[in-house]
Structure 1
Amino acid sequence: MVALNRVRQAAEARGEARRRSSTPARGTAGTQGAGRAGGGRRRGPVADARDPRMLGDVFGRLVTDRGWSSPVAVGSVLSRWDELVGPDIALHCRPESFENEVVTVRCDSTAWATQLKLLTPALLQRFEDALGPGIVTSLRVAGPAAPSWRKGPRVVRGRGPRDTYG
């Protein structure tokens, strides 16, 4: 204890101010707080600014403070697609892009595209529950890409796929 007092006095002599916390140290229950209500004794653990925090809480606060909510939401929708829509839909429909709160989804058949259009209100509700309100406001559903009839570098316009359609 004598050595600690010497170090404190040396720090004060150099002009270093000692920071004092508003709450007593953890091992000093009843020694410093005699003037407090309740007899000056601490009863159980008290939250302190020095206590460790959960990583999710720290990361969530960082995202909010920096204004990164929408980029994180975009990554969340694209990376968690299978979890958000379910395995059946995820097997046949994949997200292509996410811009201005609109997710563009490409389906592997026209039947699945029609089914996804019918399920859009339920999916938007799932997105709102999982990600928060206003992150995804609509789905743009696209069917499978049509085959290309082009076979070479030259193109004759207006004839269609030739002999297939008369």
Structure 2
Amino acid sequence: MRANADGGSDRSEFGGDEGSRKPVALSSIVDKILEDHGVLAQVRRMSVLDEWSELVGDAVARVTRARSVEDGVLIVEVRSSPWLMELNMMKGDFVRRVNDYMPDTPIERIVFVQAETE
């Protein structure tokens, strides 16, 4: 391995020597940083918040809001008590849908909570 002009190495953490280094996708660098800090799985789980409406369909999306993911538990706010009871009976189906969407970082369970009224 050669030393560069400032005395450091030409060897890169993500590639070989400076001259032979191939481009690396930014997403893989970000993933490595997140993994090194122990938060990659949590960040991936958070993507379900954006995809909730697609995963559950229009009818359920109109009365719910995926609020957060904490330690593998998806917290979902529900607009009314009748819907809360109905969705609790369908919980297993929603867990399967979410885990089919992100099999590498599955959630353990979903907790439906009554949304606060304004």
Tell whether the structures are fold-level matches, with TM greater than 0.5: yes
Amino acid in structure 2 at the alignment position of 1:94: R
Report the number of matched residues: 107
Scaled by the length of structure 2, the TM-score of the pair is 0.63
Tell me which residue corresponds to 1:63. 34
Structure (1/2) with the larger helix percentage: 2
SS of 1:94's equivalent?
Answer: strand
Structure 2 equivalent of residue 79 of structure 1: 50
- The C-alpha deviation readout for 1:99-123, integer Å capped at 9, x for no partner, is 3322232212233222311221121
Root mean square deviation of aligned Cα: 3.5
Residues 73 and 135 in structure 1, CA contact (< 8 A), matched pair in contact too = no
5+ residue gaps, structure 2: none
Specify which of 90, 101, 108 is matched with residue 119 of structure 1: 90
Q: Which has the larger radius of gyration?
A: 1
Give the match for residue 128 of structure 1. 99
Native 8 Å contact 1:110 1:144 kept in 2: no
Note if contact 2:44-2:105 (Cα within 8 Å) is conserved in structure 1.
no
Partner of 1:53: 24
Shift of 1:88: 2.5
Aligned partner letter, 1:108: R
How high is the TM-score relative to the length of structure 1? Answer: 0.48
Q: Which has the higher strand share?
A: 2
C-alpha deviations, 1:103-159, integer Å up to 9, x for none? 23221223322231122112111222223356421122234558xxxxxxxxxxxxx
CA contact (8 A) 2:45 2:102 kept: no
Residue 74 of structure 1: CA displacement? 5.0
Unpaired runs of 5+ in structure 1? 1-13, 26-47, 147-166
List 4+ stretches of structure 1 deviating above 6 A. Answer: 16-20
Show CA shifts across 1:72-114 (max 9, x none): 1453233332233333322111134433322232212233222
